[in-house]
Amino acid sequence: MAETKGARLADRLKTAAEAKQALLAKFKPKAAAVDPLFAERGVEAAAELKAVRAERQAVRSVKREAAQAVAADAQAASDQKAARRRPPTEAEAKDKRDAKYAARKSRQ
C-alpha cells in the first residue's frame, strides 16, 4: 500500500483526534462575562414595568368610569320609560272615564 504524502497511520490518527477535539471545544461552555450594568438595567426595567402598570391601571379606571356612566344613563332612561308606562291610579282612571262620558254626552 502506498503512503499518501508521507503521512503514516499514527500521524493521520493524531490529526483526526486533534480535529475531533477542536470540534468538541466549540460546544464547551465559555466563561460568562459579568455585565457591569446588570443592576442598573434591573432598576430601569422595574421602573419601566411600574410605569406600564400605572398606565394600564389608568386606562382600566377610565374604561370602568365610562361603563358606569353608560350604565347610569341606561338606568335613567329605563326609569323614565317605566314612569311613563306605569298604570294609572284609581283617581286618574276615574277622571279619564268621566272625561270620556262627558265628551260622549256633549256630542249627543
CB atoms < 10 A from the CB of 83, how many? 8
Give mean pLDDT, residues 83-103: 85
Owning domain of residue 71:
38-85
* Residue 93 belongs to some domain of the structure: no
pLDDT, position 4: 58
Q: pTM for this structure?
A: 0.44
Q: Which residues of 46-70 are buried (b: 16+ CB within 10 A; e: fewer)?
A: eeeeeeeeeeeeeeeeeeeeeeeee
* Residue 54 belongs to some domain of the structure: yes
* Residue 80 belongs to some domain of the structure: yes
Residue 1 has pLDDT above 50, yes or no: no
pLDDT, position 58: 97
Beta strand ranges found along 1-108 (DSSP E) = none
Kindly report the backbone phi and psi dihedral angles of residue 60, in degrees, each rounded to the nearest multiple of 5, phi listed first.
Answer: -60, -40
* Residue 6 belongs to some domain of the structure: no
- Specify the number of domains making up the chain: 1
* Residue 23 belongs to some domain of the structure: no
pLDDT, position 3: 52
| Rounded Cα distance, 95 and 86, in Å | 16
Residues 5-41 have pLDDT tens digits of 667 888 889 999 999 999 999 988 888 888 888 889 9
* Residue 52 belongs to some domain of the structure: yes
| Rounded Cα distance, 68 and 62, in Å | 10
* Residue 5 belongs to some domain of the structure: no
* Residue 51 belongs to some domain of the structure: yes
